[in-house]
Chains A and B, each alone.
Chain A
Amino acid sequence: MRITFKGGVHPTEMKELSLEKAFEFLPIPNQIYLPLSQHAGKPARLIKKKGDTVKKGEMIAEPDGFISAPVHSPITGIINRVSSITTLNRTRTNAVIINRNDNDEEDFMVPLNTESVTRQEIIERVKLAGIVGQGGAAFPTYVKLSPPSDKKIDYVIINACECEPYLTRDFRLLLEKTVELIAGLKLILKATGVSTGIIGIEDNKPEAIKKLSSHLKEEKNIFLKVLKTKYPQGAEKMLIKAVTGREVPPGKLPFDVGCIIQNVGTAILVYYSVAKGEPQINAFLTVSGLGINNPKNLVVPIGTPLKNIIDYCGGLKETARKIIAGGPMMGYAQFDLNSPVSKATSGILVLTEKEASRTKESNCLNCGKCLSVCPLNLAPTRLYKLTRFSKFEEAIDMGIQSCMECGTCAYNCPAGIPLVQWIRFGKLKSLALLKQRTN
């Protein structure tokens, strides 16, 4: 039997749209909108001002607090002004608007020797490079590299599942940056003092599996685990369960069961920051969907507006109905094509009505199809009804706060009930209740 977790669904993959497309560099835009908050935690503090000239790779905002990350300019140009913008997560934040000039000077950090670099140097470098997790939550990577000293970490797991349909950027990275990925994983192992590295990959990527296995032949402490293709195999808890058999308890972190999870993209960025001195100034992303003319995999300067990317990919088709940042299961629908790409953007999808159709909502039939697929063993239909009738106490008891909003239940609901929306609302309400309790 193939290794996996219990529950989950297998939506039509649609990866073939962009699977064969090697990464291309997006032409550098003339103007970018660089959000000061592209990570979980406090927004970065601007250290430049209007009219300043900044170079490609130069830090323009420094971290503010422990959980925060600096922001570097991806282009050489002049700061035009700071303005409030809508991010791809549909939140408002301040962004630095930079107008490009013709001078393409770089200002990277000093490259370090990957063999002789010390633990502290790696962590410091990852912090200075502003690297954030590429899995979606955009948690500052250096924090994940410094687990609390009382936690014994057994494994560093590279998440190469890419379980969201459509997305192919991790697949392309695995193929095109295999050496960098393995080198990055070694740096992470060194930084965390962990001896065993595992790469977890879904079995729908045979080409990448073949390439990785041949590169891993010489490695004694890095293992490849091939997992069943199933959504959400790439969710941290599901991946840890499949690879190690351990279950992360509700409200706990991978640290608590001796694991550190890093995304493929993150490991590669770690390598670049150490070996080349390059801060995170680009996002790797898949542009796909039946509503875009030329699906591609792109390397895009962070801060690039969606519009530039869509234009570069041949523009929208007339049938385009929904533009999504991220994957189709957990991504955010977009309404403003000026919104800029940020460090953790994994994809831009343009879906047609056919792909993004919603079933007309009808009554819940108690069929239990949401329970049977919920990877966290929750009872989505129950949580939805409890929320609807404002029974938040009971919703808390039934684990509403554990829900990771992966969308598996709503995907599978024959009655077309927006279960995730209801549960999100229930989580907000019950969180307020929990806060009240502790006060």
Chain B
Amino acid sequence: MSNLENQSVNLIPKLELSSSPHIHSRYTTQQVMWLVNLSLVPVIISAVIFFGLYQLIVIGVSCASAIISEAIVKKIRGAEITIYDGSAFLTGLLLGLIIPPNFSLTATAIGSAFAIIIGKELFGGLGYNIFNPALIGRAFLQAAYPVAMTTWSKPNFAVDTVTSATPLAAFKFDKIVTEIKPLIIGNVGGSIGETSALAIIIGGIFLIGIKIVNWRIPLSMILSLLFFSSIFWFIDPLKYPNPLFHLFSGGFLLGAFFMATDWVTSPYTSTGMWIYGLLISLIIVVIRLFGGLPEGVMYSILIMNAFVPLINKFTHPKIFGEGK
């Protein structure tokens, strides 16, 4: 038995002293980001099936541009290079999926760099950005390349009635309602990764299953979209398209499962998630039915991104024991 007065005698080298909790769950930011990337594989496959192998090059350029931009910005800031955390890759990947097929590679690279530099790093990097970076990149491209951003390719396996225009544009400008089946499968016109509802839902359900995506946001968006579009459809079914058409067309599902659910730019309270999803879809319906553009998912999400801090502030749950 050693002497107690020599307290430090028993210090064992390399014994960790950090305080509790001493154990941690298995998920890390890095794992989460790569899992989200993985969940987009069905969407990428659908893009290749309907728009050809070339789309892989577009997506690849987008990812590469995002990663390189992030590395450069971090280098300039003198910050740690964090390109392996998968978040820049994810931004590039998402942007690559929401631009038209066969989009100019130069424009893709510029858009992706804009998404990272202006949309994310300018705010302080991962966790500090207010707006979804991929959507910022797309908004930039929409302004910079308005024609290219609305030039659509005719998909493979398209049935005769399907034109190269997106179903939403076909409806808005020519009152053509696309059938639901091709909308679910994906052999319709649209952005690289937004046409196949099936592929998107597979990835989305995977993310909900492993608890990375909170089910409240997609569910509230879907319910809200169905609700508001039904109202108009009941008013005049000839003038306004049916709710299922709204649900499966355009970028709605990709937005609901992969864009609006971005951790950084969505509310963290349960009530907040409901409000956020509900309002996004309300704005989508308004833009689609009364706006100048055929599609409104991007702007709706960006607008609601701006409200997230406010929504969080007013929806903090009551502390345990303070009554219902």
Interface residues of A, Cβ cutoff 8 Å to B: 9, 11-12, 29-31, 33, 83, 85-86, 95, 97, 165, 237, 241, 247-250, 252, 305, 307, 316, 320-324, 326, 328-338, 349, 351, 355-360, 362-368, 371-372, 375-379, 381-382, 398-399, 402, 405, 407-408, 410-416, 418, 420-421, 424
Contact = CB atoms under 8 A, between A and B. Distances in A.
Interface in B24-42: 24-25, 27-29, 31-32
Contact of B320 (A33, A86, A364, A402): A402
User: Do most interface residues of chain A lie in helix, strand or loop, or is the interface mixed?
Assistant: loop
A371 B20 contact: no
Contacts of A357: 24
Interface stretch (B50-58, B122-130, B151-159, B189-197): B122-130
Given A249-B322, A359-B28, A363-B126, A338 B20 contact: no
A401 to B, nearest CB: 10
User: Do most interface residues of chain B lie in helix, strand or loop, or is the interface mixed?
Assistant: loop
Interface in B131-152: none
B21 A375 contact: no
Given A33-B4, A338-B2, A355-B23, A365 B29 contact: yes
Contact of A237 (B7, B27, B28, B321): B321
B19 A332 contact: yes
A321 B15 contact: yes
B17 interface: yes
Given A330-B21, A333-B16, 11 more contacts: A95-B4, A97-B4, A307-B10, A316-B12, A322-B22, A359-B24, A362-B85, A377-B317, A379-B268, A382-B312, A413-B24
Contact of B269 (A323, A326, A371, A424): A371
Contacts of A376: 319-321
Contacts of B125: 363
B319 A364 contact: no
Nearest to B317: A377
Interface residues of B, number: 51
Nearest to A11: B23
27 contacts: A33-B4, A250-B321, A322-B16, A322-B17, A330-B20, A333-B16, A333-B20, A333-B22, A338-B4, A338-B7, A358-B24, A359-B28, A360-B28, A362-B85, A363-B125, A363-B128, A364-B127, A365-B29, A365-B263, A368-B267, A371-B268, A376-B320, A379-B317, A414-B31, A415-B28, A415-B127, A420-B21
A119 to B, nearest CB: 30
A362 B126 contact: yes
B88 to A, nearest CB: 13
A419 to B, nearest CB: 9
B23 A165 contact: yes
B158 to A, nearest CB: 39
Contacts of A307: 10
B321 A252 contact: yes
Nearest to A306: B10
Contacts of A316: 12
A410 B82 CA distance: 22
A408 B14 CA distance: 26
B11 interface: yes
B1 interface: yes
Nearest to B308: A366
B20 A331 contact: yes
A367 B20 contact: no
A347 to B, nearest CB: 12
Given A30-B1, A83-B5, A372-B270, A321 B24 contact: no
A329 B4 contact: no
